[in-house]
Every structure is written in structure tokens, then in C-alpha cells.
Amino acid sequence: LSWIKHVDEQGRPYYYSADGSRSEWELPKYNLSPPNAGDAPKSRSLERKQPDPIVLTKWRYSTYVLDLSDKVMTIFLHFQLQQLIMPWFNFFFLLQPSEKCGVLNVTKITENGKKVRKNWMSSWTVLQGSTLLFAKGQTSSSSWFGGNQSKPEFTVDLRGGSVEWASKEKSSKKHVIELKTRQGTELLIQSEIDSIITDWYKALTEAINTHVSAWESDEAIEEDMPESPGTEKQDKEKDHRDLKKNKAMKSSASMESSDQKKTRVKLKKFLTRRPTLQAVRDKGYIKDQVFGCSLTSLCARENTSVPNFVRMCIEHVEKTGLNIDGLYRVSGNLAVIQKLRFAVNHDEKVDLEDSKWEDIHVTTGALKMFFRELPEPLFTYASFNDFVNAIKNPDYKQRVQGIKDLIKQLPKPNQETMQVLFKHLKRVIDHGEANRMTTQSVAIVFGPTLLRPETETGNMAVHMVYQNQIVELILLEYENIFGR
């Protein structure tokens, strides 16, 4: 009789027979006695002592002590191999569909045709056919395809899109790809390693060209929506039955299906040939809005060096509000500010002396919102670190000269707008007895609004100190920096 040794939850060993009929706390002993005295010498050779059974660890299956059958051993080994091999099989099988993957830096600059603030993030990026997937915080050792499933941060449809190397106006970083989608979303993709970003550029270009050409052909449109083999088989059987029942009904259904197919093909052709939002904007059919528009683009569109809205706000404040307490420090009614923003964006004729804009804090709040929503701040991203290093200079004269030289290196619209704004803020400070706005309080309000780093880091508090100091120094040395 074969016995199995096992250990219970308290660690106590016990034994049970292979056929499940008996269980014992101690292993039974076998001693086969001879049938008669004459066979006594022979009986001693038949005495058998049960060998110590094999005990596996508690989390594995116990095994037979004696004479394991081939069937039981086969099942056991099959189970162990399955547990060992299947995770690796699933891993490689599920990862197979991805054509290219890796860690890249990515940010959106427009979404559905609307400009958004750049927010660079490190993303685990996967290219699958005509789809590009981004997962925030992923690494090369994890994937949403395996056991640790996580939803992608966002996906991009490459069909009908375009890819090109980004200009310096788009980003001051090196090795940046600009990806535009047919839906009006624009992305910047970057890697510090030149060879990696070059490979991605080639892969994206190939993916876009491949799927665009396939998508524009009638046959490929039908292939984009394949039916499963089971569905196809069922459809054939159904068509065969319909043919037997009513040939006329089948013919009518076939004609209707053909008409639907043609309509679908024409619709998809129309959608693929539809120009992108950016292309329509480039041709001048759609105008950029005032809020959120690039300072250079806005000035070029208005044929001026300082945006008209900035001049309008400054003139209104200097005419009616220099003596208002807490000027620029007190917040205006946000709902009214948004109404003013909407009117300006839609080219409505705005008169700030109108009764609905009578609160001066609405005008100052709208002006601060304009500078906050610039895609690139008045002090450009590329010059942020240079301004910080200049303000750290222990020598005061060199500090002033360094700030002055850096301002001269900014784009012309930035210089002109900065000079007009700081001249206005000097006048606000000159009325400080009435409005209680000092140089330090104005610098605290406008420091983070006018200059900020492109990528937010952990030392935001330190940056805020430098931002305030830079604005304060320009206010104190306005005539030395800009001239009388």
C-alpha cells in the first residue's frame, strides 16, 4: 500500500493512503509473518520496512512514497512546466504586436486644434501599426500588455498625420520631433540620444506613409475593418440559407449592402482628404485668438510691436485706476474676466470704459491672464537660466548689465512689450501712497507671470525667489536698462 506524507497548517506531519481510504498520524509499519514455522528462514527475507517518504514544501503538491504511477508523475511534471513556461510565453506572445517601443520625452502643444501649455513628461512609448501609445511613468521592464496592466496615458492616430523636425521656435530642446495629427493635435517628441530619436523619426514617417496610402485606396478601406473567421463563416452560412429561402430577398439585401459600402468608402475618402486645422489656419481661413497666441505671431498679425490688448489695458488703468487700493494685487471677478476674454478672442469691439467692465480689477486680471496664457512667457524659456545666473551675480553693476544684455537678446516683440509693461508698472509704484503697491509687491505679483522654467522641477520655491528678484531689479533700474 502506497502512502503520502503531508504537513498541515500547524506544521504537523500526517500520512494518508494513495487511494484516500485511510489517514494516520504515524506511518504504519509492515511486517509480513510466515504462514508456518517451516518457512521461518524465508519469512525473514520478506520483512520490509517502510522507507521514509518524501515531503515537499507546504506550497507544493505532496508525492507518493512508493511506486509512483507514470500517469500521476506525468500530470505533476506537466503542471510544474506549465507554471514555469506560461508566464514567459504570454510575455513574448503579447509583446509581439508592438513594432517599436522605448522611453521618450513628450508634450502636447495643441489638442483638437486648441493650444495647450507645454508639460514635458517621460513616457513609455509604443508604436503599433497606425497607433502611437504613451504611458506615463512606464519603464522598459513594464508594459500594459503583460500582467501589470495599466491604461495608456493617451493614444495618437497616425493616419492622415505628418511628422517633421521641430524648429527652435517650437522648443529649445535638441532632437525634437513635431507630430501633427489629422484631428488637430500636435505633439513634441524628444530624446537626448540622437540615434534613438532618428530611429523614431524614420519609424513614424514609415508608419504614416504606409497607412495613409493604404487608407486612401478602396480595397484597403475594407481591409481596415476585417471580420473574424467565425463571423465570416456564419455570414456565409446565413447567405446560403437565405439563398434557398428567397433568391429575390438575397438580391435586394446584396444591393443594399453594396450601396452602404459605397457610401462608407466615399465618406472615408472625404475625411482623409479633409485639411488639418493647422493647414486651414496657415491659409488664413481661421484666425488665431488673442489669448494663448504666440506673442510674435500676434504682433505680426496686428502689424504692431506691442499687442493692442496690452496697450488698451494699460491706457485704461493709467486713466482711471492708478489710485485704486491693491491694484494688480486684488483679484477681479473671474466670471467677468472670462467674458472679457471671450469678447477679445472673437474680435468683438471692446470698450473698457463700458459699465460691464467698470471694475478696474477686471481689467488688471485680464491683463495678467493674457501674460499667463502665452505659450512662451515674456522672458522666453531659453533665456530663463541665463536670467537666473545673472541675478545671482554678487556684483550689483555686473548684475544690472547682465540683465540688460539678456533683454536685448530677446525677440523684438518681447523687448517692446516688456518696456511698455515695466514703464506702466513704474507708474503704478509711483502712486504707491494711494494704491499701496510697492516695488516688492509688484515683483511678487508679476514674477511668476512673466518668467518661468519650461519644465517644472522640485526647486519651485527657489525659482520663485529669483523670478521676483529679476522683476524687482528691472523696476529699480528701468531707466538704466531701457533708457529715458
64 and 110 fall within a common domain: no
CA–CA separation, 287 vs 346, rounded Å? Answer: 9
Mean pLDDT, the chain, whole residue set: 76
In the chain, % of residues over pLDDT 90: 32
Whether 172 has a pLDDT exceeding 50, the answer reads: yes
Say whether both 180 and 315 belong to one domain.
no
333/474 same-domain check: yes
Mean pLDDT within 327-332: 93
Residue 376 has a pLDDT of: 92
Asked if residue 286 is part of any domain, the answer here is no
Total domains present in the chain: 3
Q: What is the pLDDT of residue 411?
A: 93
Which residue segment(s) compose the domain that 125 sits in?
99-220
Angle at 290 between CA 284 and CA 293, to 5 degrees: 75
- Reported as a pLDDT band with limits 50, 70 and 90, residue 131 is confident
The answer to the question of residue 277 being in a domain is no
Give the pLDDT band of residue 224 (cuts 50, 70, 90). Answer: very low
- Residue 193: CATH number of its domain: 2.30.29.30
Same domain, 444 and 324: yes
How many Cβ atoms sit within 10 Å of the Cβ of residue 332? 19
The answer to the question of residue 398 being in a domain is: yes
Please state, in angstroms and rounded to a whole number, the distance separating the CA atoms of residues 442 and 476. Answer: 12
- Which range has highest mean pLDDT (64-73, 152-161, 355-364, 414-423)? 414-423
Q: What average pLDDT does this structure show over 275-288? A: 66
Domain boundary among 28, 53, 68: 68
Residue 91: which pLDDT band, with cuts at 50, 70 and 90?
very low
Predicted confidence (pLDDT) per residue in 347-374, tens digit: 888 899 888 888 999 999 999 999 999 9
Could you tell me if 342 and 461 lie in one domain? Answer: yes
What does the block give as the cell for 51?
A: 522507507
Q: Examine the domain organization and report whether 387 and 321 are in the same domain.
A: yes
Tell me if 81 is assigned to some domain. no
Closest CA to 298 of 406, 188, 376: 376
State whether 59 and 103 are in the same domain.
no
Length of the chain: 484
SS3 of residue 370 by DSSP: helix
21 and 111 share a domain?
Answer: no
How would DSSP label each residue in 226-239? PPPHHHHHHHHHHH
| 188 domain residue, yes or no | yes
Judge if 393 and 463 occupy the same domain: yes
- Is 150 a residue whose pLDDT tops 50? no
Question: Does some domain include residue 57?
Answer: yes
Residue 270 within any structural domain of the chain: no
Same-domain check for residues 430 and 364: yes
Which of the listed residues 163, 186, 220 is the one where a domain comes to its end?
A: 220
**479 close to 460: Cβ distance less than 8 angstroms:** no
Angstrom distance (rounded) from CA 305 to CA 388: 26
Residue 480, pLDDT above cutoff 60: yes
Matching residue, cell 539678456: 406
